[in-house]
Chain A
Amino acid sequence: MFMMSYQLPEFVIERREDKCIKCRVCERQCAFEGHEYDEEFDRMFSYEDKCVGCQRCVVFCPTNALIIKPHPGDYRPNANWTREKLQDLKKQAETGGVILTGSGNDKGYRIYWDHLVLNASQVTNPSIDPLREPMELRTFLGRKPDSLQLEIDGDDVQITTELTPNVAIETPIVFTAMSYGAISYQAFKSLAMAASEFGTLFNTGEGGLPTELRKYGKNAIVQCASGRFGVDPEYLNCSAAVEIKIGQGAKPGIGGHLPGEKVSVWISETRMIPEGTDALSPAPQHDIYSIEDLSMLIYALKEATNYEKPVSVKIAAVHNAPAIASGMVRAGADIIALDGLRGGTGAAPKIIRDNVGIPIEMALASVDRRLREEGIRNKASILVAGGFRNSGDVLKAIALGADAVYIGSPALIAMGCTMCQKCYTGKCNWGICTQDPYLTKRLNPEIASQRLVNLLRGWSHEIKEMLGGMGINAIESVRGNRDHLRGVGLEDWELDVLGVKGAGEV
């Protein structure tokens, strides 16, 4: 029996008829079929219930005839039963399913970056002008020894300490894991190109690395996740580093599911699974039920890569992250990747995305502190992900103790994404989170990678400006330097966890 949907439209499509020239661009641009031309009436029609607010049509309309805005129509105001809660509930009553969503947590949990401020030099300590003096952002990811032993051997000074592999990056910003499959080939390639041009890294995510893109391997962190998609010796060895994915900030404790219809022949080749089959990533890694098991996988990967690559272990930021991280370092991880509450995703149950995990600021501060207390902070780098919006957030994270920052959403936004959260539908109008060739060809890797390089360049410049203001000319001197942070509008316990003083406290 037909069941009518009781959903309210989320957006209003306002077409200013005096401007519209009926060119039908909006109709072609919208994969959600929000616009339609009717020949009989010689008129454009809108279907507001289909609009996701991605703004693609607005940007492409040649006459600026369109305005898309949140629908003002609402239920009786109710602080408890908000529009979103009612809509979600109705959707479930109509489908009986788990509500899916994409991108990151959009709830109002406190964003600590907005409650932390940075320092600058005045009088007692000169600030440095980054336009006139070198400012160094080069960062090394991987394990560092406690000390270096030097020996004079003949005419030479030799380092006799055994060194473990490190990867150098030119800015402490790395593209986070986004798999080919979750995002389009074009988007994936754009990330690879930009990372390689700027001298930083991208992360393949769990979907493998297409053979013809292995030339970007030097700039790739290759993931080994619970589905083990696309993992073979060449994949591991062409990389800069290997990452074991235990969890993801947007969906801690949850696996992944790439539906069969997205598994094209190319994706099937890269993931090494039959075409058209669902790509299922189990929730846990079924060979890791304990820290000893993790250690075995870490060393298996080190063996497979001849101890030439740092091995990262990525976890979602959860309540006891510090103890877990300490175990990971002892198990042999060279990099600890932490993904916070606001980390993005291609698809996740909304209830998980919005309710599980802790903010990255708190996880980072407590993990950094714990590793220092145990005297093992230098044994692993900390990479943090989940909710970075600008270079200020990045520098604050480094001052809290991160070695570098993973960015996902900012990279997507640079390529066109508008945070419409419909990644899980496979209809991304910006050609990013989709495998539909009609949509993906909208993204030109030459142009998209340039946008990404510009983003890295802009943020790096800004970081240099802020460092110069602090009188610091090398990023390592602000790493873990919480003296350069102060909290504003935070409670005592929050300041304690972050290990910073309140503004005005000296």
Chain B
Amino acid sequence: MRRSRRILEPEKDMQACGLFGVMDRSGRRFDGNIAIDAMKNMKVRGNGLGGGFSVYGPYPHYKDQYAIHVMYEGGNTDAKNRVEDFLHKNFEVVNEEEVPTNSDANVINPPLVWRYFVNPEKKGEEKKISDDDYVVAKVMDINTKIDDAFVFSSGKDMAVFKGVGFPEDIAEFFMLDELYKGYIWTGHSRFPTNTPGWWGGAHPFCILDWTVVHNGEISSYGTNRRYLEMYGYYCTLFTDTEVIAYAVDLLMRRQKLPIEVVSRIFAPPMWYLIEHMDERRKQLYTTLRRVYGPLLVNGPFTFIVAHHGEMFGLTDRIRLRPITAGEKADFIFMSSEEASIRAVSPDLDRIWTPHGGEPIIGRLWEDEKKKKKEQLILEQTFR
């Protein structure tokens, strides 16, 4: 047997960051200015090597199509041709267009960005899998098989805009203040300690309509990653964010666990607290830890996850990274810093700093009402 040379996995990305999320729980759509201004207020939390936004609800005319946003590094037209061939082969492409950009914006090496509104065209065996899983698989194909092409986002009626620069520069480049309206916006600014800026590496990280913005360094990365590998998730970007995104996908999308439960998996209470709970909760929490121990996210983190209808923020079990929440009428805000919330909404109804492991949840009022009772029981049990 010949020994092959050892292939080293790339080093995991390390970074510190600023996060912001805002949602209008009545579902009304608004432009990007709140998120942009809030991010501007936290300029020191980034170093200009990465910024980005996600928006939910920007494409009411195409809300039933998957909106695939693809960046082509260095405007590589060969990559673009290959992606388009691939998309036309596997999807019905309802519309395709270049994402409008502002060439005066202060950004470095911007790629060419296109978006495609598509319906899956599954063939043969593929008919057995869900549309969502089909799209995930195809996006993985583009990301891993076509050089110089990278999918920014792939959910319905949502988009991710990101790149190398301060968040406000990225916003200017994609003209987020005037071109798009959504009912949820999240924003991210990055302070990477080791990776040179790459547009695809910025946040938010996206699978289908799920986006993650994240701040922190996960000490349990190896444990989390190797557990997720058992479920078919292979980390290709080597970032903590990717691990969180996959864990959220596994637990929430595939295993259908609500965020109240998932937050107790990522940041469970200490054993000494569990011991003081009533029998029923004690048993529930113990079982959760016993089964999902490998998905405990250890070390400092804060993240904001969004998908249609819901946005939530969470900080680690001993709260080593900050998160603050605020409410003003239908609006809910979550941010790395209180100052940025106050900067965009000075007259708040309520502002609070949640405990470690206690999620801040923003949901559309209409969804909240629909499952009110279930929701209450979950909230009580996992409070």
Interface stretch of the complex, out of A128-136, A256-264, A330-338, A359-367: A128-136
Q: With contacts A124-B14, A136-B270 known, is A148 near B296, CB below 8 A?
A: no
Residues of B within 8 A of A474 (CB): 293, 296, 298
Asked if B378 and A157 sit within 8 Å, CB to CB, the answer is: yes
Asked if B219 and A477 sit within 8 Å, CB to CB, the answer is: yes
Residues of B within 8 A of A155 (CB): 377
Asked if A483 and B300 sit within 8 Å, CB to CB, the answer is: no
| Number of interchain pairs (Cβ within 8 Å) | 123
8 Å CB contact of A476 from B193, B293, B382: B293
A16 to B257: give the CA distance in the assembly, Å. 75
Residues of A within 8 A of B223 (CB): 476-481
Q: With contacts A124-B193, A477-B223, A481-B220 known, is A152 near B377, CB below 8 A?
A: yes
Instruction: Determine if B261 is an interface residue (Cβ-Cβ < 8 Å).
Output: yes
A155 to B222: give the CA distance in the assembly, Å. 38
Instruction: Determine if B179 is an interface residue (Cβ-Cβ < 8 Å).
Output: no
Bin the interface of chain A by size: 35 or more
Interface stretch of the complex, out of B28-36, B165-173, B283-291: B283-291
Residues of B within 8 A of A84 (CB): none
Residues of B within 8 A of A124 (CB): 14-16, 193, 217
8 Å CB contact of B230 from A150, A168, A375: A375
Residues of A within 8 A of B317 (CB): 473
Instruction: Determine if B75 is an interface residue (Cβ-Cβ < 8 Å).
Output: no
Residues of A within 8 A of B11 (CB): 506
A368 CB to nearest B CB, Å: 9
B3 CB to nearest A CB, Å: 6
Proximity string of chain B (251-284) to chain A, C-beta cutoff 8 Å, 1 when within and 0 when not: 0000101000100000000111000000010001
Instruction: Determine if B226 is an interface residue (Cβ-Cβ < 8 Å).
Output: yes
Residues of B within 8 A of A152 (CB): 374, 377-378
Q: With contacts A125-B300, A378-B230 known, is A159 near B217, CB below 8 A?
A: no
Residues of B within 8 A of A495 (CB): 6
Asked if B226 and A372 sit within 8 Å, CB to CB, the answer is: yes
**CB neighbors of A among B216-253 (8 A):** 217, 219-223, 226-227, 229-231
Instruction: Determine if B329 is an interface residue (Cβ-Cβ < 8 Å).
Output: no
Residues of B within 8 A of A126 (CB): 300, 320
A472 to B218: give the CA distance in the assembly, Å. 9
Proximity string of chain A (356-387) to chain B, C-beta cutoff 8 Å, 1 when within and 0 when not: 00000000000000001001011000000000
List 26 interface pairs A-B (beta carbons < 8 Å), by A numbering: A124-B16, A124-B193, A133-B318, A140-B293, A144-B290, A147-B291, A148-B288, A156-B280, A157-B378, A159-B287, A166-B290, A378-B230, A470-B219, A471-B219, A474-B296, A474-B298, A476-B293, A476-B296, A477-B220, A477-B223, A477-B296, A478-B220, A478-B223, A480-B294, A483-B222, A492-B6
Proximity string of chain A (158-173) to chain B, C-beta cutoff 8 Å, 1 when within and 0 when not: 0100010010100000
In the complex, residue of chain A having the shortest beta-carbon distance to the beta carbon of B376: A155
In the complex, residue of chain A having the shortest beta-carbon distance to the beta carbon of B265: A148
Instruction: Determine if B59 is an interface residue (Cβ-Cβ < 8 Å).
Output: no
Instruction: Determine if B109 is an interface residue (Cβ-Cβ < 8 Å).
Output: no
Instruction: Determine if A422 is an interface residue (Cβ-Cβ < 8 Å).
Output: no
Residue of B5, B6, B288 contacting most chain A CB atoms (<10 Å)? B6
Asked if A159 and B377 sit within 8 Å, CB to CB, the answer is: no
In the complex, residue of chain A having the shortest beta-carbon distance to the beta carbon of B272: A134
Q: Beyond the given A163-B287, A481-B220, could you list 6 further A-B residue pairs with CB under 8 A, ordered by the A residue number?
A: A126-B320, A140-B290, A156-B280, A157-B284, A473-B318, A477-B219
Residues of A within 8 A of B14 (CB): 124-125
Asked if B318 and A128 sit within 8 Å, CB to CB, the answer is: yes
Q: With contacts A136-B271, A156-B280, A378-B294 known, is A148 near B299, CB below 8 A?
A: no
Asked if B5 and A492 sit within 8 Å, CB to CB, the answer is: yes
A457 to B255: give the CA distance in the assembly, Å. 39
Residue of B221, B272, B291, B317 contacting most chain A CB atoms (<10 Å)? B291
Instruction: Determine if A245 is an interface residue (Cβ-Cβ < 8 Å).
Output: no
A329 CB to nearest B CB, Å: 13
Q: With contacts A148-B292, A375-B230, A473-B318 known, is A480 near B270, CB below 8 A?
A: no
Proximity string of chain B (77-100) to chain A, C-beta cutoff 8 Å, 1 when within and 0 when not: 000000000000000000000000
In the complex, residue of chain A having the shortest beta-carbon distance to the beta carbon of B273: A134
Asked if A147 and B255 sit within 8 Å, CB to CB, the answer is: yes
Instruction: Determine if B342 is an interface residue (Cβ-Cβ < 8 Å).
Output: no
Residues of B within 8 A of A480 (CB): 222-223, 226-227, 294
Proximity string of chain A (468-496) to chain B, C-beta cutoff 8 Å, 1 when within and 0 when not: 00111110111111111000000011011
In the complex, residue of chain A having the shortest beta-carbon distance to the beta carbon of B9: A501
8 Å CB contact of B6 from A136, A159, A375, A496: A496
Instruction: Determine if A505 is an interface residue (Cβ-Cβ < 8 Å).
Output: yes
Asked if A479 and B378 sit within 8 Å, CB to CB, the answer is: no
Instruction: Determine if B129 is an interface residue (Cβ-Cβ < 8 Å).
Output: no
In the complex, residue of chain B having the shortest beta-carbon distance to the beta carbon of A376: B230
A482 to B193: give the CA distance in the assembly, Å. 22
**CB neighbors of A among B293-344 (8 A):** 293-294, 296, 298-300, 317-318, 320
Instruction: Determine if A69 is an interface residue (Cβ-Cβ < 8 Å).
Output: no
B275 CB to nearest A CB, Å: 10
A473 to B318: give the CA distance in the assembly, Å. 9
Instruction: Determine if B381 is an interface residue (Cβ-Cβ < 8 Å).
Output: yes
Q: With contacts A126-B320, A148-B257 known, is A479 near B294, CB below 8 A?
A: yes
Residues of A within 8 A of B261 (CB): 150
Lowest 3 A-B CB distances belong to which pairs?
A477-B220, A476-B293, A483-B222
Instruction: Determine if B12 is an interface residue (Cβ-Cβ < 8 Å).
Output: yes
Q: With contacts A144-B290, A152-B374, A492-B3 known, is A484 near B298, CB below 8 A?
A: no
A506 to B289: give the CA distance in the assembly, Å. 31
**CB neighbors of B among A429-482 (8 A):** 470-474, 476-482
Instruction: Determine if A121 is an interface residue (Cβ-Cβ < 8 Å).
Output: yes
Instruction: Determine if A70 is an interface residue (Cβ-Cβ < 8 Å).
Output: no
Residues of B within 8 A of A496 (CB): 6
Residues of A within 8 A of B320 (CB): 126
A303 to B9: give the CA distance in the assembly, Å. 45
Residues of A within 8 A of B289 (CB): 476
Residues of A within 8 A of B255 (CB): 147-149
B217 CB to nearest A CB, Å: 4
Residues of A within 8 A of B272 (CB): 134
A128 to B317: give the CA distance in the assembly, Å. 12
Residues of A within 8 A of B193 (CB): 124
Asked if A148 and B291 sit within 8 Å, CB to CB, the answer is: yes
Residues of B within 8 A of A483 (CB): 12, 221-222
Instruction: Determine if A145 is an interface residue (Cβ-Cβ < 8 Å).
Output: yes
Asked if B219 and A472 sit within 8 Å, CB to CB, the answer is: yes
In the complex, residue of chain B having the shortest beta-carbon distance to the beta carbon of A159: B287
8 Å CB contact of A157 from B16, B226, B229, B377: B377
A492 to B2: give the CA distance in the assembly, Å. 13
In the complex, residue of chain B having the shortest beta-carbon distance to the beta carbon of A471: B219
A481 to B225: give the CA distance in the assembly, Å. 9
In the complex, residue of chain B having the shortest beta-carbon distance to the beta carbon of A121: B219
A307 to B280: give the CA distance in the assembly, Å. 22
A270 to B115: give the CA distance in the assembly, Å. 76
Residues of B within 8 A of A472 (CB): 219-220, 298-299
In the complex, residue of chain A having the shortest beta-carbon distance to the beta carbon of B251: A147
A184 to B299: give the CA distance in the assembly, Å. 46
A104 to B288: give the CA distance in the assembly, Å. 39
A121 to B8: give the CA distance in the assembly, Å. 22
**CB neighbors of B among A5-27 (8 A):** none
Instruction: Determine if A319 is an interface residue (Cβ-Cβ < 8 Å).
Output: no
A378 to B223: give the CA distance in the assembly, Å. 12
